[in-house]
Amino acid sequence: MGNCQDICKTFWCRPKNTNVRISLPAVCFVWQIVMIILFGVFVRYNPEADAHWPEFMQKHNITSNIENDFYYRYPSFQDVHVMIFVGFGFLMTFLKRYSFGGVGFNFLIAAFGVQWALLMQGWFHSLDPTDGTIKIGVESLINADFCVAGCLIAFGACLGKVSPVQLMVMTLFGITLYSVEEYIILNILNARDAGGSMVIHIFGAYYGLTISWILYRPNLHQSHRLQGSHYHTDVFAMIGTLFLWMYWPSFNSAIAYHGDGQHRAAINTYLSLTASVLTTFAVSSLSAKRGKLDMVHIQNATLAGGVAMGTAAEFMITPYGALIVGFCCGIISTFGYVVLTPFMEKYLKIQDTCGIHNLHAMPGLLGGVVGAITAAAASTSIYGQQGLLNTFGFVGELSNRSPGTQGGYQAAGICVALAFGIVGGILVGCILRLPIWADPADDNCFDDEVYWELPEDEESIPPILEYNNHMITKNPETCM
């Protein structure tokens, strides 16, 4: 018994404090109050959501309410909204004992994130110079959801290993970095990225991976018993996968140009996604004994086609071009799960719970490159005079930019996203290493027990300690 207690002191029952009773409510209350104050100072409805809209219509010769942007974008907005909350949320329920944390923390940080994103993006993009306020409308809500998507991707790398307070901090900084990066890529470089291959996926993935690298846990194997899935949690995760997969065409087309832009973006994304499903099944089957399929691949790599079409979806990439992109992505992403994830954990010390490197980083990079090439290959004969202007925004001081130059700027966007992700991740990672955040111990990772009241009759899965080649099952009563 004494021996056990010694072990416990050293390895197990070390006084890792996971009590968030003060810190979590404090962060939530303070930040929400700050949001209210900032919204009070800065945020107003844009003309299409303001009660003065009838006068606005008259002034701008708008003849029908149906021309309100609400009717162009609201259905897409709701699809994106479902992706953020149900898609990402349920995708992260796959762990057998972290389903509450997956879907619950996703809910918390997304709900906080959109508020902060409305402000940050508003300051950069829609500050009204006449009165210094931010004017929001349905397009702002979509952009806020996009911004949050970047942070949820980063969450995927850290799933199960951080406290909710850490997640809130990660989101606060993530949204901030995202908004600056987005401003540089979209407004300064005038790169196009309607579905965010660069802005969302590259940034989010490298932000998360870098944080995970800095928070490396050498003894994470102590939670090994909880790292797998349960038959039913795998089915729950498929809810997330399918809603992401089905609505991705809406994601990539949500803020594309009205008319043909949205139409084409949806078609391209749809095609790319179908191709990545087939290659994912193929590679998954190829890489296992007796050709058995792996649910992790199906849940994730099938989505790679959507990630990789983020930049080029609104371009004239042609239907077969979209299929080729999806084809490649499904292969790359599934191979990532088979080969790269274990490699990265072992040799690079990057523990990537959801495999975001395979689903977001690599397909995002591919998507950025595809976008640059497609942009560089654009021409008036393919797009038409007006189509070229609409698609690439060659107006005003950009009216002399050639498609080739545009391709270069697109490529520059990739680098900016990468740089923000990695540098931002190092910065935030170091902040999150401070010993004040109530993160779980190595043997408590992936366990809802730590932050959630669990249903009483659930038998908890007993933790197992490896010590001197003995397997010692922890007895919570004798230990401590």
At a CB cut-off of 8 Å and minimum separation 6, what does 364 contact?
A: 197, 198, 200, 201, 202, 205, 307, 308, 310, 417
Q: Cβ closer to a second copy: 275 or 359?
A: 275
**C-beta closer to a second copy: residue 213 or 392:** 392
Q: Which distant-in-sequence residues (6+ apart) come within 8 Å of 35 by Cβ?
A: 115, 116, 119
In sequence order, what are the beta bridge partners of 464?
473
Write out the binding residues for a second copy, residues 299-318 only, by CB under 8 A: 302, 316, 318
3-state secondary structure of 458: coil
Residue type, 412: A
Strands 470-473 and 127-128: unpaired
Nearer to a second copy, 230 or 433 (CB): 230
Contacts of 267 by beta carbon, 8 Å cutoff, 6+ apart: 249, 319, 322
Rounded Cα–Cα distance for residues 263 and 256 (Å)? 9
Q: Specify the DSSP element, H or E, that contains 134.
A: strand 133-136
- The encoded tokens of residue 445 equal 């990772």
Q: Closer to a second copy by CB, 49 or 422: give it.
A: 49
- Largest distance between two CA atoms of the chain: 84
Of 61 and 400, nearer to a second copy (C-beta) is 61
Figure out which of the listed residues 386, 399, 468, 469 binds a second copy, where binding follows CB under 8 A. 386
Give, in degrees to the nearest 5, the angle at Cα 350 between 201 and 12: 130
Q: How many CB atoms lie within 10 A of CB 56?
A: 14
Residue 8 Cβ, how far from a second copy at the closest point, in Å? 19
Between 62 and 398, name the residue whose CB sits nearer to a second copy: 62
Q: How far is the CB of 415 from a second copy (least distance, A)?
A: 28
Q: For residues 59-118, which are near a second copy according to CB under 8 A?
A: 64-72, 74-76, 78-79, 81-82, 85-86, 89-90, 93, 96, 99-100, 103-104, 107-108, 111-112, 114-115
State the Cα–Cα distance between residues 49 and 60, nearest whole angstrom. 15
Q: To the nearest whole angstrom, how small is the minimum distance from the Cβ of residue 184 to a second copy?
A: 27
Site for a second copy in 245-284 (CB under 8 A): 245-247, 249-250, 258-260, 262-264, 266-267, 270-271, 273-275, 277-279, 281-283
Interacting positions 421-440 with a second copy (CB under 8 A): none
Q: Closer CB to a second copy, residue 37 or residue 188?
A: 37
CB of 235 to a second copy, least distance (A): 5
Segment 345-374, which members bind a second copy (CB under 8 A)? none
Per CB under 8 A, the segment of 237-245, 400-408, 415-423, 469-477 that binds a second copy is 237-245
Report in angstroms how near the CB of residue 280 gets to a second copy at its nearest. Answer: 9
**Min dist. Cβ of residue 95 to a second copy (A):** 10
Specify the residue, 176 or 216, whose C-beta has the smaller distance to a second copy: 176
Give the binding range for a second copy (CB under 8 A) out of 197-205, 294-302, 344-352, 366-374.
294-302
Residue 464 engages a second copy in binding (rule: CB under 8 A): no
**Residue in 395, 436, 454, 480 binding a second copy, rule: CB under 8 A:** 454
Per the CB < 8 A criterion, the answer to whether 107 and 89 are in contact is: yes
**Among 5, 18, 176, 405, contact with a second copy (rule: CB under 8 A):** 18
In the structure encoding, which two tokens stand for residue 5, read together?
């207690």
393 is a contact residue toward a second copy (CB under 8 A): no
Per the CB < 8 A criterion, the answer to whether 93 and 152 are in contact is no
Contact, 354 vs 157, CB < 8 A?
yes
CA atoms 395, 366, 142, 152: torsion sign: negative
What string marks each residue from 22 to 51 as x (binds a second copy by CB under 8 A) or -?
Answer: xxxx--xx-xxx-xxx-xx--xxx--xxxx
- With contacts defined by CB under 8 A, name the span among 227-235, 344-352, 366-374, 470-478 that binds a second copy: 227-235
Between CA 72 and CA 67 the distance in angstroms is: 8
Site for a second copy in 119-178 (CB under 8 A): 136-138, 141, 164
Choosing from 458, 462, 475, 478, the residue that interacts with a second copy (CB under 8 A) is 458
Q: Which residues contact 360 (CB under 8 A, 6 or more apart)?
A: 153, 156, 201, 202, 204, 205, 307
CB atoms within 10 A of CB 47: 16
Cα separation, 266 vs 387, whole angstroms: 17
Nearer to a second copy, 94 or 207 (CB): 94
Nearer to a second copy, 73 or 201 (CB): 73
- The distance of closest approach from Cβ of residue 460 to a second copy in the complex, given in angstroms and rounded to an integer, is 10
Q: Binding a second copy by CB under 8 A: which of 1, 60, 292, 434?
A: 292
Report the residue number, 394 or 420, with the smaller CB distance to a second copy: 394
Residues in Cβ contact with 26 at an 8 Å cutoff, skipping those fewer than 6 apart = none
